[in-house]
Amino acid sequence: MKNIAVFASGTGSNFQAIVDASESGTLEAKVTLLVCDRPGVKAIERAEKHGIPTFVFSSKEYRNKEAFETEILKKLKEAKAEFIALAGYMRLIGPTLLSQFQGKMVNIHPSLLPAFPGKDAIGQALEAGVSETGVTVHFVDNGMDTGPIIEQATVPVDENDTAEILQQKIHKIEHELYPKVIQDVLHTPTEKGEFV
């Protein structure tokens, strides 16, 4: 069974979905670390409730991204993490982490990429007046939501949808899709016949 780390910056609802799937056995992986860049958020509380170790940091306490990513790498090694799932982690991943986890790091984004990358994808979709948006799970590269797409699911946008309503609809899909895709990625051989 693979050990995975989850990175989050907020409420941690996707983190919770991953933990629930792991505990129920539908995701054959163990969450061994939560990395969080915002002290005091709900994701930390969720991790503590499940006895999952956390590394919580404030970027302001480090001289640069390389410094805190080096610290994160140390924590990942201690947790024996072999794979990373970003779940609402609001920072671009730098070369320090990417070089060690290339092809072993995925992200979930609340739009049908390449549409509406970056922050407030739900607000962007509403402003654009689209009739559907969705959810994308993709591998992480050095760009903003630009890595190879693994899977997508569509979510209809109704005329009366507020940002809150649309977010709820998207979360429902995310919480089903993300653990399933992580399971597939971890347990499907690559073209070379290896597992991630």
Give the side-chain half-sphere CA count within 13 A for 71.
Answer: 16
The one catalytic residue among 109, 138, 175, 187: 109
Alpha-carbon span 15 to 175, nearest angstrom: 9
Q: List, in order, residues 6 or more apart from 146 with CB less than 8 Å away.
A: 114, 117
Alpha-carbon span 98 to 69, nearest angstrom: 10
| Strands, E assignment, the chain | 2-8, 29-36, 54-56, 83-86, 105-109, 132-139, 149-156
* Token pair 């959810």: residue: 135
The distance between the two most distant Cα atoms of the chain, rounded to a whole number of Å, is 49
Q: 158, 135 in Cβ contact below 8 A?
A: no
Alpha-carbon span 176 to 169, nearest angstrom: 11
For residue 154, report the phi and psi dihedrals to the nearest 5 degrees: -90, 150
109 is catalytic: yes
Catalytic residue IDs? 109
